[in-house]
């Protein structure tokens, strides 16, 4: 089926394109940008005037909750949420049940996802068996089954020798190791940033040094092993400064931040709002500002949704007992736009953080628009504000700190392989 | 953000923490408690203010003392009291906190007195109960124990009525103490100009000075010229979690002895929320000495809890 997307503002961060023109799609590919291919007759026209046409979003951390946690969310509900948010490619962490540590499980997930004909799913395999931090997984086999990187999700890697060897082994094959820096002992039992709010509310704290101590180890091990490392969901100003210094020394490190953390701080916990129980914890205002600045200067490469749908029962508990996490895929674009508007960042740079940059980190062919590229597109109205409420979300998880807020950017169409998979 | 403790007329709907309440509200509780002190000293220790009301003591964490004082307070107001030790009943059967509360609400409770090991549990319950039900926090995690904080300031006021010239020291495990937090907010709201906390660094939460207190690490400096000493109970777990080496060393450097008490003003008073660890945070000579007001605290605790219950029921 051939399509024309008429009169949209095409923004492709990778090539630097920013112009109003038509996009021509045939056989799932972009066959024309601006100029119609010879003899092109469209079956469907999409009027994108006053809208932005950009590459489909790429999300580095989206929990689909399958297998194992279908009461929280199902692949169907979360894939619908992804395309409603303009996401066409996503990486899912290995913390399913069972853990993604065997090729068969990865193949099954890829197969289930493919059969839905929605976003492309890129599993991150477990770095250690059962995420226990003891024995390595069969990384090469897992790569053949479809894993694009290896990590521990939120599980610790307590033994630094295992960390070093996992990095050495992964780098043997050129695999990227994804780590969220957090020292398990310093963070033990903690649920909120070690600061004024946790002190007032009497919540067990997670100190900043839980992040920086782990980060120091990872940076040293990166230097030692030469492994490529992607740092997930950095949370502190000191952490950003350490990463900036490490990158200036030329270490092969990339970094992401969750969309929640560039807008919120410990103050948002208010009176024990369990929707603000997140991993890592929301930190002080100064930390949030450093994350926003780090994103702008390129220390932080990408924004991820850190999508973690939680069912109501597991949120209606005292703060510390409530399960951590927030639904996020449908908020990724609005929260990125909000950051960009507040920091006066060019739109192309904002979109790069959720398209071209995460695609580069994943090492997949996605996140760009050019002749011959797969027609994975997001078409959105940047001016339209919408209210975040349970009924407006496709995700089975309705829990987010942004409930009740008005956010900019409504996805109008999402196309995957040239097919319209979402119309908003 | 609306204050979850107040109704739309700005009156006390729940008592969850001493933080965020006005001096007027706190003083009203203290003044009301004064009128109940007389009741507790009479032969017939009962008033009919809460006749026909049902008060449920929901204790998700074991506590004999606090539960008993709430029970006595409710009975002296002629309320019907139901005690539930949920730590050993429904929670172990997998029922959630809110399920338990909903079930009890259906039994037409008027008031819940809640003790829970998690900070914020009373807030959660208050947010989900029917609007006619009142919640009193009887201790949630490390967060708050407002009736204890109030009975402490009530006791102080009885001996030191002018709060504008007071120097108060709170000594011990501030980090884990809901009592200390409730004391600090009540004292600072009522205009006490200098509240000190004294503890080793391992027992102080970060940014504690933001609560409006002065931080000391040594008794010798911290106790100098204070009018009121509020001692905190030291739990033995603190040794297991490597925050302290031993009770002996703690007593040697932070225990309240007669010699240390002499650093404070001559007429200083000593409080302790109980139960005391004699020889750990306080020496028996001090606990039983003439500057100790520890037993009056217990008596006043009943009057303060009666005051809170009657004010909530009236609103």
The percentage of residues in chain A with a pLDDT greater than 90, rounded to a whole number, is 96
Q: How far apart are the first and last CA of chain B?
A: 21
- Per-residue confidence band for B92, with pLDDT thresholds at 50, 70 and 90: low
Which of B97, B142, B206 minimises the CB distance to A195? B206
- Per-residue confidence band for B91, with pLDDT thresholds at 50, 70 and 90: low
Q: Which residue has the higher pLDDT, B42 or B182?
A: B182
Predicted confidence (pLDDT) per residue in A52-68, tens digit: 999 999 999 999 988 88
- Mean per-residue pLDDT over chain A, rounded: 96
Decide if B1 and A316 are in contact by the 8 Å CB cutoff.
no
Which H or E element spans position A140?
helix A139-145
Whole-angstrom CA distances from B184 to A326, A391, B168, B234 are 34, 43, 10, 18
For tokens 């975040």, the residue is A388
Handedness of CA A219, A221, A224, A230 (dihedral sign): negative
Which H or E element spans position A32?
strand A29-33
Predicted confidence (pLDDT) per residue in B159-203, tens digit: 999 999 999 999 999 999 999 999 999 999 999 999 999 999 999
Decide if B207 and A321 are in contact by the 8 Å CB cutoff.
no
Question: Which residue of the set A194, A306, A313, A381 is catalytic?
Answer: A306
What pLDDT does B104 receive? Answer: 86
Count of beta carbons in the 10 Å neighbourhood of residue A406: 10
Decide if B206 and A203 are in contact by the 8 Å CB cutoff.
no
Decide if A202 and B143 are in contact by the 8 Å CB cutoff.
yes
Residues of B in contact with A321 (CB under 8 A): 118
Crossing angle (nearest 10°) for helices B146-159 and B23-41: 70
Contact A56, A356 (CB under 8 A): no
Contact A167, A227 (CB under 8 A): yes
Which residues of A lie closer than 8 Å to B, measured between beta carbons? Answer: 194-196, 198-205, 207, 270-272, 313, 316-321
What pLDDT does B90 receive? Answer: 54
For tokens 């996490």, the residue is A325
Distance from the Cα of B143 to chain A's closest Cα (Å) equals: 4
What pLDDT does B236 receive? Answer: 79
Predicted confidence (pLDDT) per residue in B109-166, tens digit: 999 999 999 999 999 999 999 999 999 999 999 999 999 999 999 999 999 999 999 9
What pLDDT does A1 receive? Answer: 84
Quote the ipTM score. 0.94
B296 contacts chain A (CB < 8 A): no
Q: Which of A417, A262, A266, A414 minimizes the C-alpha distance to A353? A: A262
- Residue A126: strand, helix, or coil: strand
Residues of A in contact with B128 (CB under 8 A): 316
> At residue B1, does pLDDT exceed 70?
no
- Per-residue confidence band for A383, with pLDDT thresholds at 50, 70 and 90: very high
Q: Which of A137, A160, A162, A134 minimizes the C-alpha distance to A147? A: A137
- Mean per-residue pLDDT over chain B, rounded: 94
- Cα–Cα distance, A401 to A315 (Å, whole number): 12
The percentage of residues in chain A with a pLDDT greater than 70, rounded to a whole number, is 100
Which H or E element spans position A351?
helix A347-352
What pLDDT does A366 receive? Answer: 97
Where does A112-242 show beta strands of DSSP type E?
120-126, 149-151, 176-179, 192-193, 205-206, 228-231
Contact B174, B206 (CB under 8 A): no
Strand partners, A6: A47
Structure tokens that stand for B122 in this block: 């009373």
> At residue A117, does pLDDT exceed 90?
no
Q: Which residue has the higher pLDDT, B239 or A121?
A: A121
- Per-residue confidence band for B93, with pLDDT thresholds at 50, 70 and 90: low
Q: Which B residues, 34 through 93, put their C-beta within 8 Å of a C-beta on chain A? A: none
- Cα–Cα distance, A136 to A257 (Å, whole number): 27
Crossing angle (nearest 10°) for helices A237-248 and A208-225: 20
- Cα–Cα distance, A152 to A164 (Å, whole number): 14
Count of beta carbons in the 10 Å neighbourhood of residue A334: 26
- How far is C-alpha A267 from the chain's CA centre? 24
Whole-angstrom CA distances from A194 to A154, A209, A281, A323, B175 are 19, 10, 9, 19, 12
Whole-angstrom CA distances from B78 to A1, B49, B113, B145, B303 are 79, 7, 16, 24, 14
Contact A104, A75 (CB under 8 A): no
Which H or E element spans position B82?
strand B80-85
Contact B274, B266 (CB under 8 A): no
Q: Which of B89, B135, B77, B6 minimizes the C-alpha distance to B302? A: B77
- Per-residue confidence band for B94, with pLDDT thresholds at 50, 70 and 90: low
Predicted confidence (pLDDT) per residue in B7-27, tens digit: 999 999 999 999 999 999 999
Contact B270, B294 (CB under 8 A): yes
Decide if B206 and A207 are in contact by the 8 Å CB cutoff.
yes
Peptide bond into A67 cis (omega under 30): yes
* 3-class SS shares of chain B: helix, strand, coil, % to 5: 45, 15, 40
Structure tokens that stand for A124 in this block: 């991150």
Which of B119, B178, B206 minimises the CB distance to A320? B119
Decide if A196 and B210 are in contact by the 8 Å CB cutoff.
yes
Handedness of CA A307, A311, A313, A314 (dihedral sign): negative
Residues of A in contact with B243 (CB under 8 A): none
- Per-residue confidence band for B105, with pLDDT thresholds at 50, 70 and 90: confident
- Per-residue confidence band for B2, with pLDDT thresholds at 50, 70 and 90: confident
Decide if B123 and A271 are in contact by the 8 Å CB cutoff.
yes
CA torsion A244-A250-A251-A255 (nearest 10°) is 40
- Cα–Cα distance, A300 to A340 (Å, whole number): 14
- Cα–Cα distance, A355 to A59 (Å, whole number): 8
Contact B269, B71 (CB under 8 A): no
Residue A18 is among the residues annotated as catalytic for this protein: no
**Quick one: closest CA in A to B142, which residue?**
A202
pTM score, whole prediction = 0.95
Where does A127-249 show beta strands of DSSP type E?
149-151, 176-179, 192-193, 205-206, 228-231
Mean pLDDT, residues A74-103: 96
Predicted confidence (pLDDT) per residue in A315-357, tens digit: 999 999 999 999 999 999 999 999 999 999 999 999 999 999 9
For tokens 């027992």, the residue is B203
**Quick one: closest CA in A to B4, which residue?**
A271
- How far is C-alpha A51 from the chain's CA centre? 24
> At residue B101, does pLDDT exceed 90?
no
DSSP one-letter code for B132 = T
> At residue B88, does pLDDT exceed 80?
no
Predicted confidence (pLDDT) per residue in A136-151, tens digit: 999 999 999 999 999 9
Q: Using alpha carbons only, what angle is made at residue B134 by residues B132 and B137, rounded to the nearest 5 degrees?
A: 165
Residues of A in contact with B143 (CB under 8 A): 201-203
Mean pLDDT, residues A284-308: 98
Test the B interface: residue of A202, A208, A265, A274 with most B CBs within 10 Å: A202
Which of A196, A207, A313 minimises the CB distance to B96? A313
B312 contacts chain A (CB < 8 A): no
- Cα–Cα distance, A423 to B117 (Å, whole number): 48
Q: Which of A411, A392, A388 minimizes the C-alpha distance to A401? A: A388
The percentage of residues in chain B with a pLDDT greater than 90, rounded to a whole number, is 83
Decide if A198 and B144 are in contact by the 8 Å CB cutoff.
no
Decide if A320 and B118 are in contact by the 8 Å CB cutoff.
yes
Q: How far apart are the first and last CA of chain A?
A: 20
- Cα–Cα distance, B188 to B165 (Å, whole number): 12
Mean pLDDT, residues B265-288: 96
- Per-residue confidence band for B45, with pLDDT thresholds at 50, 70 and 90: confident
Contact A375, A46 (CB under 8 A): no
What pLDDT does B89 receive? Answer: 56
Q: Which residues contact A133 (CB under 8 A, 6 or more apart)?
A: A152, A155, A156, A157, A158, A159, A162
Contact B122, B60 (CB under 8 A): no
Contact B164, B43 (CB under 8 A): no
* Alpha helices (runs of H) in B44-177, residue ranges in sequence order: 65-76, 97-105, 121-128, 146-159
What pLDDT does B43 receive? Answer: 83
């Amino acid at each position: 089926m051939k399509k024309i997307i008429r009169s949209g503002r095409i923004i492709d961060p990778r090539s630097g394109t920013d112009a109003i023109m038509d996009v021509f799609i045939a056989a799932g590919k972009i066959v024309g940008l601006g100029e119609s291919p010879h003899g092109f007759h469209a079956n469907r026209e999409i009027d994108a005037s006053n809208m932005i046409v950009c590459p489909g979003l790429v999300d580095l951390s989206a929990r689909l909750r399958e297998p194992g946690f279908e009461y929280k969310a199902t692949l169907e509900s979360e894939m619908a949420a992804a395309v409603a948010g303009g996401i066409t490619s996503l990486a899912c962490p290995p913390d399913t049940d069972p853990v993604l540590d065997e090729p068969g499980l990865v193949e099954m997930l890829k197969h289930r996802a493919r059969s839905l004909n929605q976003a492309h799913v890129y599993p991150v395999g477990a770095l250690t068996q059962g995420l226990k931090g003891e024995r390595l997984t069969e990384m090469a086999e897992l790569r053949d089954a479809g894993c694009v990187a290896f990590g521990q999700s939120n599980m610790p890697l307590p033994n630094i020798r295992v960390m070093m060897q996992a990095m050495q082994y992964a780098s043997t094959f050129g695999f990227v190791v994804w780590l969220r820096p957090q020292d398990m002992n310093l963070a033990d039992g903690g649920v909120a940033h070690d600061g004024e709010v946790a002190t007032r509310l009497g919540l067990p704290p997670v100190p900043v040094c839980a992040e920086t101590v782990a980060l120091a180890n990872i940076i040293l091990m990166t230097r030692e092993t030469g492994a490529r490392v992607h740092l997930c969901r950095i949370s502190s100003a000191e952490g950003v400064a350490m990463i900036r210094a490490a990158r200036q020394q030329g270490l092969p490190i990339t970094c992401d931040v969750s969309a929640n953390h560039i807008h919120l701080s410990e103050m948002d916990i208010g009176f024990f709002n369990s929707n603000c129980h997140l991993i890592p914890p929301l930190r002080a205002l100064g930390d949030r500002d450093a994350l926003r600045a780090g994103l702008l200067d390129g220390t932080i490469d990408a924004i991820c949704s850190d999508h973690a749908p939680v069912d109501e029962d597991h949120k209606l508990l005292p703060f510390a007992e409530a399960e951590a996490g927030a639904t996020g895929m449908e908020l990724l674009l609005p929260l990125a736009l909000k950051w960009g508007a507040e920091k006066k960042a060019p739109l192309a740079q904002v979109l790069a953080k959720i398209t071209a940059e995460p695609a580069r980190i994943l090492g997949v062919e996605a996140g760009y628009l050019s002749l011959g590229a797969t027609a994975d597109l997001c078409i959105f109205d940047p001016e339209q504000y919408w209210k975040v409420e349970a009924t407006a979300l496709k995700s089975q998880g309705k829990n987010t700190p942004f409930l009740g807020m008005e956010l900019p950017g409504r996805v109008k169409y999402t196309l995957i392989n040239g097919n319209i998979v979402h119309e908003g | 953000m609306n204050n979850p403790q107040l109704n739309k007329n700005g009156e006390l709907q729940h008592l969850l923490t001493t933080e965020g309440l006005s001096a007027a509200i706190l003083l009203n509780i203290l003044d009301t408690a004064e009128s109940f002190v007389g009741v507790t000293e009479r032969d017939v220790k009962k008033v009919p203010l809460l006749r026909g009301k049902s008060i449920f003591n929901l204790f998700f964490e074991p506590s004999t003392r606090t539960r008993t004082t709430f029970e006595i307070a409710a009975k002296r107001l002629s309320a019907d009291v139901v005690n539930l030790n949920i730590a050993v009943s429904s929670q172990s059967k997998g029922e959630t906190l809110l399920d338990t509360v909903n079930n009890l609400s259906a039994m037409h409770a008027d008031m819940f007195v809640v003790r829970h090991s998690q900070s914020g549990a009373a807030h959660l319950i208050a947010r989900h109960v029917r609007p006619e039900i009142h919640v009193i926090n009887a201790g949630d995690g490390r967060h708050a124990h407002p009736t204890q904080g109030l009975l402490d300031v009530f006791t102080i006021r009885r001996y030191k009525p002018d709060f504008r010239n007071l120097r108060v020291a709170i000594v011990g495990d501030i980090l884990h103490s809901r009592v200390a937090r409730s004391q600090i907010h009540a004292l600072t709201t009522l205009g006490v100009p200098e509240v000190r906390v004294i503890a080793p660094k391992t027992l102080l939460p970060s940014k504690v000075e933001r609560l409006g207190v002065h931080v000391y690490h040594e008794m010798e400096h911290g106790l100098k010229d204070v009018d009121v000493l509020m001692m905190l109970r030291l739990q033995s777990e603190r040794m297991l979690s490597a925050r302290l080496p031993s009770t002996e060393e703690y007593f040697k450097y932070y225990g309240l002895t007669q010699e240390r008490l002499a650093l404070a003003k001559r007429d200083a008073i000593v409080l302790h929320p109980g139960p005391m660890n004699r020889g750990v945070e306080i020496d028996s000579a001090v606990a039983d000495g003439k500057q100790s007001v520890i037993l009056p605290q217990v008596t006043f605790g009943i009057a303060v809890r009666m005051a809170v219950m009657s004010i909530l029921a009236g609103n």
